Amino acid sequence: MNTEIGIGVISFAHGHANAYCNKMRGFDDVQLIAGWDDNIDRGENAANQYGMSFSPHLEDVVNNKEIDAVIVTCETNRHAEMVVAAASAGKHILCQKPMALTLEDCDRIAEAVEKSGVKFMMAHQMRRDPANIRMKELIESGVLGKIGLLRRRHCINVLFNKIFATGPSCWHIDPEKNMGMFMDDASHATDFIYWMLGKPSSVMAEIDNVLTDVAPDDTGVAIYRFPSGEMAILINTSVTHAGENTTEIYGDKGVVIQNYGDGPSCNIPRSEEAVALKLWTTGHPSWKDLGVAIPNNHGERIADVPRPFIDCLKNDTEPDVSVEAGRVSVEMILGAYRSAEEGRRVQFPL
């Protein structure tokens, strides 16, 4: 791999493409080469902003010899199509979440990646958050003992914003392009839960519009069970103005509590004494501040996604958020939708 990695962008439909490009523009080992978009105005404006060339023809990007890797940030229902095109041309891929809207498309992606031998990483930014990394370490160290319950709230407030439903991001509320807001946003939390506890064995869920009628759904709660008995509660809404406590993990030897870990909590003012992550254990029965910094805003974590991907390419290492991880996250979401629709517990695999 070259010392300077050439990057192409496949669509600027997803706003995270801008966060990634802004961050990569400051890397001395990355060159932003070219972008494609089926919305010519959007694509040309973004390409000009980041000093890239633009083409309305996808083949001009995937066949560009200066491009080593692409970021796929188009509408979710087109992820498989774009990944197959990029992998067939030998380009490494950073794919926006969720990986796809169906397990069939997830499998198309997996087949294309395996056949081509390219590197593929999912853009699940929660794995880049220092507090989340610390919680993963605490579980693996055994300091919490056997985990009984994990609760994760991952929320945003976008459906209170009329521009979200009418502006450039309006495709997010299109059921054909994105299924629903639970699919779009809770996929972060399902990846977090899978990362922490492994694959679940079943799910029970409620997903519906509770406060708005803007999108196919605005609120969802899912309870996952795991082979060893653990439970995980996922709370996701797109209509949350403010929050504080983000994650709770309860074990038979300890408890860890995270605050200020999603948009509504870390993007609003808080006290100077606020604590991001605290630990209680049976051996030291008092809360201990683990000294993890609170992000200034939710965008910091999003911007941290490209660096590990670039390092994988430079060092020829395997991405830590794999095709399998992307598929599991989608399957967990689809299981929750099925449970909510049918009013019953749903077993995995689907």
Q: Span 294-314, mean pLDDT?
A: 92
Cis? peptide before 130, omega within 30° of 0: no
Distance, C-alpha 274 to centroid of its chain:
26
Q: Span 259-285, mean pLDDT?
A: 92
Q: Radius of gyration over alpha carbons of the chain, in Å?
A: 20
Q: Quick one: DSSP state of residue 170?
A: G
Would the pTM of this model clear 0.85, i.e. be above it? yes
Q: Span 25-52, mean pLDDT?
A: 96
Q: Span 165-190, mean pLDDT?
A: 94
Residue 1 has pLDDT above 70, yes or no: no
Q: Is the dihedral of CA 187, 193, 198, 203 positive or negative?
A: negative
pLDDT in tens, 117-172: 999 999 999 999 999 999 999 999 999 999 999 999 999 999 999 888 888 889 99
Instruction: Give the pLDDT of residue 47.
Output: 97
Q: How far apart are CA 289 and CA 286, in angstroms?
A: 10
Q: What domains sit in the chain, N to C, each tagged with a CATH number?
A: 5-118 (3.40.50.720), 127-297+331-347 (3.30.360.10)
**CA angle, 273 then 298 then 171, to 5°:** 150
pLDDT in tens, 73-102: 999 999 999 999 999 999 999 999 999 999
Residue 281 has pLDDT above 70, yes or no: yes
**In which band, very low, low, confident or very high, does the pLDDT at 2 lie, cut at 50, 70 and 90?**
low
